[in-house]
Amino acid sequence: MRYATRNNFVGSVVDGYQARQCILKTTAATSLQLVAQAAKTQGLKLVLFDCYRPQRAVDHFVRWVNDIEDTKTKTEYYPNLDKGVLLGDYIAEKSGHSRGYTIDLSLAQKNEQGQWQLLDMGGQFDLFDPLSNTDNPEVTAQQRANRYTLKNLMAKGNFSNYPMEWWHYTHEQDSQQTTKHYYNFPVLAY
């Protein structure tokens, strides 16, 4: 879980993350287990970056966007965009993650040395750039194939992709909720 570390676009541990735990609603978690099993049959494994996200973390992101003086992560995470344009398409004031049905993830496979290595998706997780759009035409054929391997696996678990970010998926159960509740409890070790 990247936001429980300093290895993220904010450059610090994000408010509400006290542990590196993945929390999801039961239906989403059960579906994700099925996706993980399907990935395993292809010699792949899921690499999770974020699951449930407390509203206080979302608020932290919004404060970060509004702090125009803080550009220490620009080169790595938003090299081609002004920080001010991140609010909206990339960073929302209310996130589906805070409802427990959304997950950010990638795929890994073993290299020749037997170590798990992330598949090349043509851009890193949380790269705020058009290159991160799932169908961006500038990625290589292999990168596109990797993105679609992830997309097809996630579809088997009834997850749909957010087209702006190749790594972002929401379980169909979320769209069936008549009331949208955004949780704010912290992510703790259990």
82 is in an annotated binding site: no
How many CA within 13 A on the CB side of residue 136? 21
Q: Would you call 165 a catalytic residue per the annotation?
A: yes
Report residue 165 as tokens: 């970010």
185 residue type, one letter: F
60 is in an annotated binding site: no
The torsion defined by the Cα of 69, 70, 76 and 78, in degrees rounded to 10, comes to -60
- CA distances 96 to 6, 34, 62, 91, 152, Å, are 22, 21, 15, 11, 21
Question: Is residue 187 within 8 Å of residue 102, measured between CB atoms?
Answer: no
97 is in an annotated binding site: yes
DSSP 8-state symbol, 37: H
Q: Which of 93, 112, 165, 172 is catalytic?
A: 165
Binding positions: 97, 104, 168
Q: Which segments are annotated as binding site for Zn(2+)?
A: 97, 104, 168
Active-site residue list: 165
